[in-house]
Amino acid sequence: MFSRFRIAVEGAFDVRWCRGSISEKIFDLWQHQLEQRGVSIRGGSRVASIKKNDDGKYDISLDSMNEKTENSLIENCDAVVLAVGAVAAGKLAASSPALSSLDATKDFDKLRGVTCVAVRLFLKPHPTITSGLKGGLHDKTQLPPEFAKAMIDSPIAVCGAGIGGIEELRETGFCIYDLQRMHDEFSVDHYALHIDKEDQVSVLEIDFYRADSFVNCQNDVIVSLALEAVSSALGTASKIDQSGIVDSTILRAKNAVSHFSPNSALYSPDVKLDKGLYCCGDWVDRTGHASWSTEKSVVTARQAANALSADFRLANSQCDVIPAAKDTPQLTALRKSAKLLRTLLPLETLPPSPWVFAKQFLSRHV
């Protein structure tokens, strides 16, 4: 990740955050467009297994949490695209003869996920509105001024593990978001025009990654931990008092986010598993395209669509992928240096990648 966002392409950390609920701004609109094209969406249904029938087509068995859902078997599919996470793909491969028999899926059981916890806090607004803040869609917030000024340059703070000596965060990183500066619906200007004063709230979100140590804790324990994490990360003298919380929501996602670790790329499959079977996601090999995270999911989705279109000779398929930018001179030099070192030193003494080498080298010289 560091190689991509900091070294590979200068200025590449150009993340764009949604201006509201992702469900409302993206997925609801996408679902409506698909349904207008005749696509049937089975809400509350999970794919249990995929089998290849005697005609060479695919039969899909569903587990439904919706009692009204009929037809738990979808038969005679020409093609299947797995747009799922890494852990889900591993579980699906284990239960699906059409997948488990393929060489391309033999390492799916090694795919791992990271547990995440998202905490959204709706707070009593501070009487003082802090304005002139940078980096967000909006420049005002009703967070306590001490916290607002600590985030003056951006409405987002990215925090590593071990902050504040908090035991639960020893291996847990997190991000802090001031949603009043990011979402139109929570902005101070929107409140002034549309929301009664007694109904106004400031909104803080804290997303934890590798949150296994506390994912099963009670909500009030997680809220308290979130407040402590924010205070420690921003270096404020005080902590937001729980009495100032109007409401809160907590989302738990166990093993839901792809776990990228040394050598994990060895288990990434190509977008085409077999004719008629394709996959996409941030855990899939994007065949040299230097993309990561959500961008990588989009790239592999288009690559999967392109492979499917080619296999079935579909006309007017528009799924080209924009080439990624070339490496910066710094990363090019680092790659050349690492390659040279591999020719001079024993393999067991060398790290697996140039950025790992840089990290190890710098850690010995700081």
**Residue 256, pLDDT score:** 87
- Considering only CA atoms, give the Rg of the chain: 24
Please state, rounded to an integer, the average pLDDT across all residues of the chain: 86
| pLDDT at site 11 | 47
Cα–Cα dist 365/172, whole Å: 26
Spatial separation of the C-alpha atoms in residues 40 and 21, rounded to whole Å: 23
Specify the pairing of strand 277-279 against strand 80-82: parallel
Q: What is the pTM of this model?
A: 0.78
pLDDT attached to residue 185? 92
What is d(CA 159, CA 333) in angstroms, rounded to the nearest whole number?
29
pLDDT in the model for residue 366: 44
pLDDT of residue 10: 47
* Sheet of strand 156-159, all strands in order from the earlier edge strand to the far edge: 156-159, 173-178, 202-209, 113-123, 245-258
Which pLDDT score is estimated for 357?
55
Backbone phi and psi for residue 292, each to the nearest 5 degrees, phi listed first: -140, 160
Percent of all residues in the chain with a pLDDT value above 70, rounded to a whole number:
86
pLDDT tens digit string along 343-352? 776 555 555 5
Give 271-322 pLDDT, tens digit per residue. Answer: 999 999 999 999 998 777 766 778 888 899 999 999 999 999 998 888 888 8
- Taking 70 as the pLDDT cut, the residues of the chain under it are 1-15, 65-71, 290-291, 345-366
**Torsion sign over Cα 280, 281, 287, 288:** positive
